[in-house]
Amino acid sequence: MDQSRYEEVPKKEGKAGKAFKNFGKYLKTVMKSIVESFKYNKMKLPAFLLGIGGVIIGLFLSVHAATIQQLTYTYSYVDQSGEELVKYTANLPGMPYDYTGVVIFILMLLGILNIFIALAFNSKQNKGSVVSATIITVVMIGLTIAYVYAITYFKQYHDSGIEVNGTLYKLDLAGGGYEANFEGNYMKSMIVLFIADALSLVACVLGFIHYNRAYEKGDER
């Protein structure tokens, strides 16, 4: 009896299997190309970090906005010295106005500017772009410190209240205050800014290490 007729015929690979296999090969090739390009151009990594630092500020804009809307630096108190009770509204001592919205707006602009500088990191690889990124990063860190100070200042008085003429008053909450998940929002907002600043700072350090010295010499000529 001819046994060859009973041999199992290999199953043909389906279209889906071929597609996944080809896609896997494509991803492998792309990742290999990316790794090789990072080795060839050492400014790609700092450029990537600098760009990501700028992008994440904008990605979490809704969190920053929710935090700012819930902040308030005014409180109401009643003057009982006269015959009639008079209600006044005043700003917290040391905080004449709320600047947090302006800070976030400037940080957004600086983040966008850093994205464009990241492109210069990758293409020009020169010292000038690194210096520009460093200046922007220093300003970003300063603004982040001011933002964190404003939030902790608000939280301190919100938790403890403020005493006027022997009477303790609570802050006038804006946007729902803690009832609208203020704790979660302001923590996320600060963490995002810390990460953005850290990525930008690391990018600047790596930029000073790896920028193209030959480019600078060529400029001098």
Say if 108 falls within a structural domain.
Answer: yes
Say if 7 falls within a structural domain.
Answer: no
Residue type, 169: Y
What pLDDT, on the 0 to 100 scale, is given for residue 178? Answer: 47
Say if 203 falls within a structural domain.
Answer: yes
Say if 52 falls within a structural domain.
Answer: no
Q: How many structural domains does the chain have?
A: 1
Report, as an integer, the average pLDDT of 8-34: 61
What pLDDT, on the 0 to 100 scale, is given for residue 112? Answer: 92
pTM metric for this prediction: 0.70
**Is the model more confident about 208 or about 139?**
139
In the chain, what percentage of residues exceed pLDDT 90? 21
What pLDDT, on the 0 to 100 scale, is given for residue 200? Answer: 93
Residue 140 above 90 pLDDT?
yes
Q: What is the domain extent for residue 98?
A: 58-212
Say if 50 falls within a structural domain.
Answer: no
What pLDDT, on the 0 to 100 scale, is given for residue 30? Answer: 56
**Is the model more confident about 174 or about 74?**
74
Say if 128 falls within a structural domain.
Answer: yes
